[in-house]
Structure 1
Amino acid sequence: MASVSYALPPPRSSPYPFRKIVYVNNLPTAPPHHVSIPFSKSLTLIKAIDPYVKSLNQRPPRSATSAAATVVSSDRQLTLKARLKNGEILYGIFLLSFSPTLAEIAGLAGYDFAVVDMEHGHGGISDALPCLRALAATNTAAILRLPESSATWAKKALDLGPQGIMFPMIDSPKLARKAVSYCRFPPSGVRGSAHTIVRASDYGINEGYLSNYEEALLIMCQVESEEGVKKIEEISAIDGVDCIQMGPLDLSASMGYLWDPGNKKVKEVMRSAEKAVLGTKGGAYLSGFAMPHDSPEDMRLRGYHMVAGAVDVGLFRNAVVENVNKFKMSLVEGSNEEREESKDAEEEEKYWSE
């Protein structure tokens, strides 16, 4: 078994600001071995002697106090992309509040992923970063939804190191190919490179970032217009598009049924689009958001592999409205004393009637 601890800073004459001390125990030889190596050269050795550290982007779970928690934590060590390839059905939440506290609670609650929504939420890159850190602390995968599909927004979002990125309003194969190109470095794409210093590569500490970032990143394209669903099969087949995110609200609006995603005609178009994605050989996975008329279970049965069932501000809104209404109803029904007096009167009447 191996453990790692950090020594105090060495004398100023030392060429390394810190040294990482790796203690390797239970070796065949009698005395324990103490290996002192420079921080900058310790990564390979640490991964070799500690099987728990699979990669620098797959940290051990923060806690695992039961067998069930250990299983869940083990699954969540894998990337979203790897879990989808394993055939898992993933359940998530959208975060519009940009509250790190709510992001942390969502992660601790057990969601498989959380979409930090820069399209409809008020925040941008600097607001999203604390949420990503909060989610990372709970070992929950983060997806960033962009406000628009552009190289600039994609570059800034990807440098934060989310497991997934979601592009809005993808209406054609051409736009889908552009979205993929925004996620890849030249010559495969047009993503600007600062990989040696950004969070995505652990600020350059993960020396293998360039060799595995494409395999780890989940690229999601939102198809949410009448024009888009007509070409959804072609969009789904584009190399690099991993997931099609259906958008029932915008789709219903584009069809002339604003805020009526349960309309019969909208549902027919949605079902046709879903079948086109699922029927594409080697195509993308299907992702969507549960609605009052369309439960997560129904979506799973139709072939969805990623389902988001809640929004943080929506959950909070429902809770506070219910809380306030409960109090106001108590005022209408009378005070506690009045209710007690009424109860006593009823009991007395019951007694004499007997």
Structure 2
Amino acid sequence: MATSQNQKNGQSAGVRGSAHTVVRASGYGIDEGYLSNYENQLLIMCQVESEEGVKHAEDIATVDGVDCIQMGPLDLSASMGYLWDPANKKVRKMMEAAEKAALGSDPKEGGAYLAGFAMPHDGPRDLGTRGYHMVSGAVDVGLFRGAAVEDVKRFKMSLMDGLDDEQEDEKDADEKYWSE
């Protein structure tokens, strides 16, 4: 790990891994200027997923360099004791407080944008009308997991279908044998 060479207000701009020559972000080492300009290309998103995060959402949104506040409704519901219940009235109230706090920081004046996940109880239009700047409809890992699970189901079903066909063939052979 190496401390960033770029300084902001006398403070370090953070820590960056030193494997920059082998990562996708640097074009696998092809972008020779990566270390001197990567900060300009990063999208810094801070997730608000706890009551403590909600209490500080406005402060987080105004931190220099933070581009976006990402709401995490499932983790927020879990942290509040409502595991897998982001539609719970208390969770929704907490989400509203965080949204208002984040939206209180104007992105045009250095504040952060607001991002979130569409949920069955809280669709993309709902989020848009509440001021969200970015809405995710699905998560790539969830999509990949769903596709993999479906593929395994199809594979297992094809094996079961194959077993049924083999059993029918055996039955036909047995019947033919005994009927001759």
Instruction: Quote the residue 2:4 is aligned against.
Output: 185
Aligned to 1:90: none
Aligned residue number for residue 38 of structure 1: none
Which residue of structure 2 lines up, in the alignment, with residue 239 of structure 1? 64
Letter in 2 for 1:261: P
Mapped partners of 2:30, 2:38: distance in 1: 14
1:306 aligns with 2:131: no
What do you get for the CA RMSD once the two structures are aligned? 3.0
Distance 2:30 2:101 in 1: 42
1:232-285 CA deviation, whole Å, 9 max, x = no partner? Answer: 111111112111111111211222222211011111110111111011132111
Counterpart-to-counterpart distance in 2, 1:226 and 1:210: 36
- Paired residue total: 143
User: Aligned partners of 2:145, 2:120: CA distance in 1, in Å?
Assistant: 13
Give the equivalent residue in structure 1 for 2:161: none
Residue deviations 1:36-66 (CA, integer Å, cap 9, x gap): xxxxxxxxxxxxxxxxxxxxxxxxxxxxxxx
Give, in whole Å, the separation in 2 of the partners of 1:300 and 1:223. Answer: 18
Unaligned runs of 5+ in 1: 1-154, 156-181, 324-354
Q: Which has the higher helix share?
A: 2
Q: What does the per-residue CA deviation read over 1:118-163, in whole Å, with 9 as the maximum and x for residues that have no partner?
A: xxxxxxxxxxxxxxxxxxxxxxxxxxxxxxxxxxxxx7xxxxxxxx
The match for 1:294 is 122
| Cα distance between partner residues in 1 of 2:112 and 2:98 | 12
Separation of aligned partners in 2, 1:200 and 1:314:
25
Q: Which residue of 2 aligns with 1:222?
A: 47
Structure 2: runs of 5 or more not aligned: 6-11, 155-180
Q: C-alpha distance in 1, partners of 2:71/2:117?
A: 8
Match of 1:316 in 2: 147
- TM-score, normalised with respect to structure 1: 0.36
Counterparts of 1:317 and 1:201, CA distance in 2: 30
Cα pair 1:222 1:244 within 8 Å, conserved:
yes
Q: Is the Cα–Cα contact under 8 Å of residues 185 and 192 in structure 1 kept in the other structure?
A: no
1:205 and 1:254, CA in 2 relative to 1: closer, same or farther beyond 3 A?
closer
Quick one: which amino acid aligns to residue 232 of structure 1? Answer: A
Question: What is the identity, as a one-letter code, of the residue corresponding to 1:298?
Answer: D
Once residues 43 and 74 of structure 2 are traced to their aligned partners in structure 1, the CA distance between those partners, rounded to angstroms, is: 23
Question: Residue 197 of structure 1: CA displacement?
Answer: 5.1
Q: Is the 8 A contact 1:185 1:193 kept in 2?
A: no
Tell me if 1:276 matches 2:101: yes
Instruction: Please tell me whether the aligned partners of residues 289 and 307 of structure 1 are also in contact (alpha carbons under 8 angstroms).
Output: yes
Shift of 1:307: 1.7
> In the alignment, which residue of structure 1 is the partner of 2:90?
265
**How is 1:1-354 mapped onto 2 (pairs within 5 angstroms)?**
185-186=4-5, 187-196=12-21, 198-281=23-106, 282-310=110-138, 311-313=142-144, 315-316=146-147
1:201-232 deviation digits (Å, cap 9, x = unpaired): 22332233234311111111111011110111
Report the CA distance shift for 1:316/1:280 in structure 2 as closer, same or farther (over 3 A).
Answer: same
Deviation at 1:306, TM superposition (A): 2.0
Identity of aligned residues (%): 67
TM normalised by structure 2 equals: 0.67
AA aligned to 2:121 is: H
